[in-house]
A and B are shown apart, each in its own frame.
Chain A
Amino acid sequence: MRVGIAEYRTARGPAVLRASGLGSCLAIVLYDPRRALGGMAHTLLPGGRGQDEVSNPVKFADLAIELMLKDLVGMGAERQALVAKMAGGANMFASDFLSLVDGIGVRSAHSAREILSRLQIPLLGEDIGGNRGRTVEFDLATGHLLVHFARDKTRLCL
């Protein structure tokens, strides 16, 4: 199942959630291992809290996590059993002109970590930053988050 920018999807295993071509965007997964129930959010921006006129909260890392959490609990996930993983937040055009887009990916990751810790959801793995694009796949049957790097055809498993 494809998860586009500013979207989140929830599903019950066996299923694979996929976000392709992540640059500074962040893919965050929440997962209840016992019920093989989980979701993936594909966010664009860091904190949306305190912003006026939020038309689509899923753009924001913190608000997307809260919405997905509510949804998963509604589907029968056990609140205490939920764990999280995330990947993305690269700075694709890192160069001599660093301040151009001020590390937005890293700020998104920071915002996600903050809300996860406030919600007491353990973050079991992350692969954040760098200057390579990522495609991520979350396998609800195993709980593995696979991170593919297209440019050099390598991958890692969180």
Chain B
Amino acid sequence: MLLDQMPDVQRDALKEVSNIGVGHAATALSKMIGRRIELFVPRVLVTPLADVPACLGGAETLMAGIFLRILGDARGSIMLLFPQASASRLCGILTGCEQELLENQVAVSSLKEVGNILASAYLNALGDLIGKKLLPSVPCFAYDMAGALVDTLLVEVGRKSDLALMVETEFGGEIDSDTSIRGHFFLIPDPETYEAFFSVATGD
């Protein structure tokens, strides 16, 4: 299937499954940190590889990234990106004190655990919807330029395609507040298993 000719029904289906998946993930996060988390409308992005960093807010913006591979009946990647301030706040809530990112193993471990819980909740919901068993890999963490973090995602996609398909959902609590935690949740299916992710639209 050609990505740039993706029918609207498939776009809408991807948005819907991602909305439900991230809904579950946000509930999990909300329980963990005892704050309300709001979801924004998901975006389905089909972009040339070169434009992906710009979609993430600029190649050189420092972000905390948690990366997991999707294992099982369909393959892909999940990336959670938190702006620096949000990542520090999140660590603060989870560990009880503001942590310097990267300098502290406890901070890194707590963020990886967040990634693990969110990805598991997301993949459970998504797997149920498309009738596939989806499992998250061990989470990996890095704090660096957004562009550098997403290279890792593009490697899998780039082998087969010049366009990247990403489903992005932004989430955040207490919008416009200095204490809000905002982040981006990305689902990037491997081109070989696009059909599996689209099956919810076609009813296969």
Contact = CB atoms under 8 A, between A and B. Distances in A.
Interface string B49-61: 1111100000110
Contacts of B146: 21
A56 B151 CA distance: 17
A131 interface: yes
Interface in A55-98: 55-56, 59, 90, 92-93, 95-97
Interface stretch (A2-10, A31-39, A119-127, A139-147): A2-10
B134 to A, nearest CB: 17
Contacts of B130: none
Contacts of A133: 144-145, 147-149
7 contacts: A4-B53, A20-B145, A23-B145, A92-B148, A97-B137, A135-B60, A151-B102
A151 B143 CA distance: 8
Interface stretch (B21-29, B87-95, B153-161, B184-192): B153-161
B150 interface: yes
Scoring A4, A7, A21, A55 by chain B CB atoms within 10 A of each residue's CB, the highest score goes to A21
A20 B49 contact: no
Interface of B: 48-53, 59-60, 62, 65, 67, 69, 102, 137-138, 140-152, 154-156, 158-159, 162
Contact residues of A: prevailing secondary structure: loop
A150 B145 CA distance: 7
A107 to B, nearest CB: 10
Interface of A: 4-7, 20-25, 44-45, 55-56, 59, 90, 92-93, 95-97, 100-101, 104, 131-135, 150-151
Contacts of B141: 93, 95
B158 A6 contact: yes
A150 B60 contact: yes
Contacts, number: 106
A45 B157 CA distance: 11
A55 to B, nearest CB: 5
A59 B145 CA distance: 21
Contact of A92 (B69, B142, B156): B142
A99 to B, nearest CB: 10
B59 A24 contact: no
A5 B140 CA distance: 23
Contacts of A45: 155, 158-159
Contacts of B158: 6, 44-45, 59
Given A45-B155, A100-B69, A150-B60, A21 B52 contact: no
A137 to B, nearest CB: 12
Contacts of A132: 144, 148
A59 B152 contact: no
A71 to B, nearest CB: 18
